[in-house]
Copies of this chain bind each other. A is one copy, B any other.
Amino acid sequence: MAAPEEPRWLSDEERKAWLATAAIMITLPAALDARLQQEANLTFFEYMVLAVLAERDDRTMQMSDIAAGVSASLSRLSHVVAKLEKQGLLCRSRVPGSGRRTNATLTDAGHAKVVAAAPDHVAAVRDYFMDALEPADVATMQRVGMAVARCINPARPFFHGATR
């Protein structure tokens, strides 16, 4: 169950690349959380959920699809959606006659919340991430991100909109 005989250690270059990536994974979400928290009283994850719904014409999506869209477990989503529903930012409704499916729909208050939070969030994404990239890096990050997602979960090909 452990690794084979002699593990392929990381080269020095690989190790540096990995440590730098690990630093992103640890600090970037924290930084974005802090900004959203003080500007809109939302977590990064909550924002992603609202944003993904706001992109839909009918502001509605099934729970599982949201979960796939924000790369999270259904359980985590369920807790967060319950909280957002209690705040009146969205509401849930069972789809009758189709198993246990549940739709979440953004309320007007929820939509207003995303619209209000978006400008500063986008600015934060630029400040902490996008501005650190050179032009050619944008395409690289997209390719690498999707490749990593595929490695981690080959089953779920990653959701991404389906809108527009």
Which residues of A are at the interface with B, using a C-beta cutoff of 8 A?
1-3, 7-10, 13-14, 16-29, 31, 39, 48, 70-72, 116, 118-120, 122-123, 125-133, 137-153, 158, 160
Contacts and interface: CB of A to CB of B under 8 A. Distances in A.
Copies per complex?
A: 2
A144 to B, nearest CB: 6
Given A27-B153, A151-B131, A17 B141 contact: yes
Given A20-B149, A146-B20, A26 B71 contact: yes
Contact of A21 (B18, B118, B145): B145
Contacts of A128: 148, 151-152
B70 A130 contact: no
Contacts of A131: 151
